[in-house]
Amino acid sequence: MSLSGAVSTLLSVAVIAGRVVLDAAAVVRCRRRVHLDHDPAAADAPRAAPDPVLEQRRTDTLAHQDVVGRRLVELIGSPRWLAVPPGTAHERQRATMDAMAARADFIWNAMLPPDLQAGRGGDVDLLVRAKRGGYRPLIVVRHRVSDPGSGALTSALAEPYVERAQVDQSRRYRNHPRDQLRLAHLTRMLQAVGRAARGPAFGAVIGMDADVVLWYELSVPTWPGGRTTLAEYDARFSDRLAVATAAVNQAPALASASQITECRHCVWWPTCEADLTARSDVSLVLRGEEAAAMRAAGVATVVELAALEPTAEPPVVLHGVPFAHAVALARAWLRGLPVVRRVASVPMPRADVEVDIDMESFGESGAYLWGCLLSVPSGPSVAELLGEPTGYRAFVTWQPLPTVDEARSFAQFWGWLTALRGRCRQHGLSFAAYCYNEQAENRWLLASADRFGGQPGVPGRAEVAEFVASEQWIDLFAVVSEWFLCAHGKGLKRIAPVAGFTWADPEAGGENSMRWYRDAVGLDGQPPVLAQRERLLRYNADDVHATRTLREWMCSPKLAEIPLASDL
């Protein structure tokens, strides 16, 4: 199908009986994307090729939903379960309405009729009949929906009723606004056909672990400003519907391009990037609300921002970056400088014994690889004293995640690191471990301790937390953020080349590594591809070599080649 044909197909689905109809995803999408999705004039505009990683995630989600559906049938019992058969949208809608009229307890693969008056459409994984009649929506997602803690409202999989739900003393809600807004969307659709459960509005989620049903009360004030989920949803949906309607009717656009995090994976980024670059939009150096605030103050372009005096009173209060830094970023962007220094020399912590660490995970399933690069700057005599060869080593499991073998590889990694730290203490040597953006590593360090606690060699959470909070654990991303201004982003793949490092694999990247991992472990039912395992190990080794190159560069005379922000 041609690009224009694909857009035409999209528009025919989005407009029913002359009315724009949006699904729940539109509520959390960029306003400009909603416009372009519905604008006939954008049919021939440049678009990115489909992202294979995102396509695979969708496939994995469908597979996960199928597994959860079959599990629910086993637990609940097939006589109480009705699955809407595959078919056209109209056929599924009719079958869903018939099932609700027959008071089916559980309706799987449901699809509600579009609410043309409000402009809503979409399907729902499961409709659960309430004890007093009416239905509540339940969605199945492929991410974790809770964390250790307390306060979440849950019920057993075998009894997915809010009437049976209790406050869980072992779980707390993980922040997923997208899930809550989707449940609000489906609740409004149920209300439109007169089939919503009476009383407070509730919706449920079954997450990746599929061990409980987690319930959200949608009519309590849990959003900023004391808004309920339903009120937040109503405001967002009304806005997106207006944007889409204006686009379909080719009225003046209600949304213009502005660079945000979502742009990285958006199909429309080539179109928006060309637009933003052509007009030197201020969002190219300031993101989100900061860019909007600048535009509101009359500073709409990078050129205008760069022309301001950094020591003068700022036109607007910025919360994400000091005003002087914003001006310096604009000047760096105009000169094509990816990085500038904030200070003459960077206080980079060093040690007698150093380890660069990089973890590889597969989505929410777990961490399969802990790569470590041991260096001894203080000399070969110290390395000999340690009795440990320098260089790269990997602690890995090639059993498909999730797997209990992950506990073994994590325990080996932690045991090696702990023993090394112990020998350093024994010999009076300083020690430092480095990573780039500790958020990912810390997450799986702590999660591994939580998930596998009590298994051989796995540390307790307190032991891991003590290390994470210590001065021995250094986040190079934080160092870069504090002492450098980066006009094109602060990711390792953008910053390490400035220090002279190049990845051997031209396709190196976190998203691509997901595809390599699938092949490496045979996740799609094919025999494991051993060459992809080697590729992942080389990629991980390059990552830790990149962090070492970066921090050594920060301490070298070459740093002086980077301009100072104050000199721009």
One-letter amino acid at 144 equals: R
Measuring CA to CA, how many Å separate 394 from each of 205, 269, 356, 405, 410? 37, 36, 12, 15, 11
Question: What local confidence, expressed as pLDDT, does residue 264 receive?
Answer: 84
d(CA 182, CA 124): 9
The closest of 338, 392, 337 to 370, measured between CA atoms, is 392
Query: Which segment of 268-272, 295-299, 480-484, 506-510 scores lowest on mean pLDDT?
Result: 506-510
* Buried-exposed string 508-534: b where 16+ CB fall within 10 A, e elsewhere: beeeebbebbbbbbebeeeeeeeebbe
Question: What local confidence, expressed as pLDDT, does residue 57 receive?
Answer: 81
Q: pLDDT digits over 61-90, tens only?
A: 999 999 999 999 999 987 889 999 999 999
The answer for residues whose C-beta is within 8 angstroms of residue 434's C-beta and 6 or more apart is: 354, 355, 356, 357, 474, 475, 476, 547, 548, 551
pLDDT at 476 over 50: yes
Contact 167, 196 (CB under 8 A): no
Half-sphere exposure of 308 (CA within 13 A, CB side): 25
Question: What local confidence, expressed as pLDDT, does residue 10 receive?
Answer: 37
Question: What local confidence, expressed as pLDDT, does residue 173 receive?
Answer: 94
Instruction: Rank 44-58, 162-176, 502-516 by mean pLDDT and report only the highest.
Output: 162-176
d(CA 518, CA 520): 6
d(CA 8, CA 224): 38
- Tokens in use for 552? 């050594």
Which residues on adjacent β-strands are paired with residue 357?
A: 372
pLDDT at 39 over 70: yes
The pLDDT mean for the chain works out to 92
Q: pLDDT digits over 206-254, tens only?
A: 999 899 999 999 999 999 999 999 999 999 999 999 999 999 999 999 9
Backbone angles phi, psi at 161, to 5 degrees: -120, 140
pLDDT at 170 over 70: yes
Q: Looking at residues 556-560, what average pLDDT do you find?
A: 93
Backbone angles phi, psi at 327, to 5 degrees: -65, -40
Contact 303, 444 (CB under 8 A): no
Backbone angles phi, psi at 30, to 5 degrees: -55, 140
Full DSSP string of 120-137 = B--EEEEEEE-TTSSEEE
Q: pLDDT digits over 322-377, tens only?
A: 899 999 999 999 999 999 999 988 999 999 999 999 999 998 889 999 999 999 99
Q: pLDDT digits over 269-309, tens only?
A: 999 999 999 999 999 999 888 899 999 999 999 999 999 99
Query: pLDDT tier at 17 (50, 70, 90 boundaries)?
Result: low
Query: pLDDT tier at 496 (50, 70, 90 boundaries)?
Result: very high
The closest of 69, 73, 46, 201 to 124, measured between CA atoms, is 69
pLDDT at 11 over 60: no
E-strand ranges in 193-287 read: 202-206, 213-217, 221-223, 227-228
pLDDT at 529 over 90: yes
d(CA 180, CA 174): 11
pLDDT at 13 over 60: no
E-strand ranges in 80-237 read: 81-83, 106-111, 123-129, 135-140, 146-148, 152-155, 166-168, 171-173, 202-206, 213-217, 221-223, 227-228
Question: What local confidence, expressed as pLDDT, does residue 54 receive?
Answer: 78
The percentage of residues in the chain with a pLDDT greater than 70, rounded to a whole number, is: 97
Residue 429: CB atoms within 10 Å: 17
How many Å is the maximal CA-CA distance in the chain? 81
pLDDT at 7 over 60: no
Question: What local confidence, expressed as pLDDT, does residue 1 receive?
Answer: 27
Question: What local confidence, expressed as pLDDT, does residue 6 receive?
Answer: 34
pLDDT at 5 over 50: no
Q: What is the pTM of this model?
A: 0.82
d(CA 369, CA 468): 18
Contact 282, 301 (CB under 8 A): yes
Residue 564 DSSP class = B
Question: What local confidence, expressed as pLDDT, does residue 14 receive?
Answer: 63
Contact 412, 424 (CB under 8 A): no
| Torsion (CA) 538, 545, 472, 427 in degrees, nearest 10 | 90
Tokens 């660069």, residue located: 356
Contact 388, 409 (CB under 8 A): no
- Tokens in use for 543? 């990552």
Q: Looking at residues 413-437, what average pLDDT do you find?
A: 96
Contact 485, 339 (CB under 8 A): yes
> Is 19 strand, coil or helix?
strand
